[in-house]
Amino acid sequence: MSREMTYAEAIREAIDLAMARDPRVFLLGEDVGVYGGAFGVTDGLVQKYGAERVRDTPISEAAIAGVATGAALTGMRPIAEIQFMDFITLSMEQLVLQAAKLRFMLGGKVSVPFVLRTPAGAGTGAAAQHSESLENWFVHVPGLKVVMPSTPADAKGLLLAAIEDPNPVIFVEHKLLYRTKGSVPEAYYTTPLGRSEVKRAGRDVTIIATSLMVVRALEAATQLAADGIEAEVIDPRTLKPLDAEPLIASVCKTGRVLIVHEACKTGGFGGEVAAVLAESAAFDYLDAPIRRLAGLDIPVPYNRDLERRMVPQIEDIVATARRLVKEAK
């Protein structure tokens, strides 16, 4: 049975179910307890599970990631929260040099099953140090998995799968998605990591989008349909491991592809997807060049108008897709 709930509520429910099911699961981070997290996602969990399993930490991202890594090595399944993805910079040593590599370096004799949740993205007027999308840094690191759900149902299922996974998972939650609503099953369920999903079928152009950009791509597809352009929207959901086959199959069908993400264009995930497509069977089916629509290569501005122009909007997706279809004719 499903009911409608917000993205934030779906994440909270996933954490609650995991903690009720497995005593090894615990939560740690800055203000995750009494305060309920920077965005209220963990509200009420400390009252239910106590301060031993919902641990408020000092203001040290390095300590949060280090404790989570150590706890995972000893058999626990921590869920760590970094309040803003920008602050993940302070935990890079623990994530990149330790958590990502220990299983490999010790010949598979240990596992590091922990999830690092972090809100990302612009749109809240939080300026350059609280609005970044840094997911592709971690896509580049062997040993880490990277997940970016776009819907409440995916957020719940993917988080539960991430908690069960024996590897460290970076779980990226866009701040503007927290209040979005959708149908979410009540039961405990997992959505497998490394499985893309076609969110809308189409024949004229493929739009591959991540996180909040999936929501905007779907709205853009509705507007494009009014002009007779049927866009297929695909959400990779897991950036690493990437399920490329549905992306390739879609481009083979439509002959045109637009890749949309919020992070800065240079070095962004869109470049990796473009390379995967160019090296695949889809290349021979392209009727137009691969197009990327991404954030500008600047720090996120504080000014709301400038902030809005810095990242792709619905109208940008519509205009770029229209040009792409026109080029191909």
> Is 114 within 8 Å of 74 (Cβ atoms)?
no
Distance CA 96, CA 172 (A): 16
Residue ranges of E strands in 267-314: 291-295
CA angle 220, 223, 225 (to 5 degrees): 110
Amino acid at 285: Y
Q: How far apart are CA 297 and CA 284, in angstroms?
A: 31
The identity of residue 298, as a single letter, is: I
Task: Answer yes or no: are the C-beta atoms of 158 and 237 closer than 8 Å.
Answer: yes
Other CB atoms within 10 A of residue 143 CB: 19
Say whether 130 is catalytic: yes
- Is the distance from CB of 42 to CB of 15 less than 8 angstroms? yes
Q: Which residues contact 136 (CB under 8 A, 6 or more apart)?
A: 239, 263, 267, 268, 269, 272
Cα–Cα distance for residue pair 68/170, rounded to 1 Å: 12
Query: Per the residue annotation, which of 130, 140, 174, 261 is the catalytic one?
Result: 130
- Cβ atoms of 270 and 259 closer than 8 Å: yes
Beta bridge partners of 231: 205
Q: Regarding beta strands 197-200 and 77-81, do their DSSP bridges make them parallel or antiparallel, or are they unpaired?
A: unpaired
Query: Hey, which residues are catalytic here?
Result: 130
